[in-house]
Amino acid sequence: MRSVLWGLYGAVLGALLVGVVGVLSIQATGLRAGAVFDLNNTLAGITSPQTPYLPMLGIAAVSSLAAWALTVGPRRRPRLCRVGLVVGFSVSTMALIALSFVIAPDIAAQRELLLGILPGWRGWIHRGGGESAVHLLVALAIGSLWLYPDRQPARPTAASGGGTGGQGGDAATGAEPVIDLGRR
């Protein structure tokens, strides 16, 4: 049951990532062209064209936070929880990436806005799903399953005393077994 809950966390993380990166990408596109967009992606003002430092920094920060949440954050959780997180994130993010390509032809058909930005959440998904940072994080999430393999506790063997009072580990304290190959 916990893995399902972690899967939902991953799905929410993926949707938030695509949405926030989409909003910031629209703001960056607007600033490069000298336009200021509101959250509905409608033209709110005109400014001189400039380099969008803050939106680019925001995309980097949000992507780094998502990378941490997918790799380092859950490293001490059971493998099933980590798999649930990655599967939820990957499925929701890839679904939104696919949706971003499906809704893309609407721009040419409807000629809705200057610069081809769809209004509202459709524009966020369209731009966020097309960002390479989002694509890279899906690959990183899937690869993160091999970053922290489950650690199996060391079990005493016959050569190390087998937990019978020899030079092996102590089961009560959890000490690692010591193998001394120099003595017989």
Sign of the alpha-carbon dihedral angle for 36, 42, 45, 47: positive
User: Is residue 157 pLDDT above 70, yes or no?
Assistant: no
User: Is residue 61 pLDDT above 80, yes or no?
Assistant: yes
The fraction of the chain above a pLDDT of 70, given in percent, is 73
User: Is residue 156 pLDDT above 70, yes or no?
Assistant: no
Q: pLDDT value at position 114?
A: 46
Q: pLDDT value at position 3?
A: 80
Q: pLDDT value at position 2?
A: 80
User: Is residue 45 pLDDT above 50, yes or no?
Assistant: yes
74: nearest Cα among 1, 11, 66: 66
CA angle 57, 59, 62 (to 5 degrees): 105
Contact 117, 41 (CB under 8 A): yes
Q: How confident is the model at residue 159 (pLDDT cuts 50, 70, 90)?
A: low
Contact 154, 168 (CB under 8 A): no
Q: CA-CA distance, 24 to 40, in Å (whole number)?
A: 13
Q: pLDDT value at position 113?
A: 45
User: Is residue 68 pLDDT above 60, yes or no?
Assistant: yes
* Mean pLDDT score across all residues of the chain: 81
Q: CA-CA distance, 4 to 37, in Å (whole number)?
A: 38
User: Is residue 95 pLDDT above 90, yes or no?
Assistant: yes
Q: CA-CA distance, 168 to 184, in Å (whole number)?
A: 14
Q: Is the pTM of this model over 0.75?
A: no
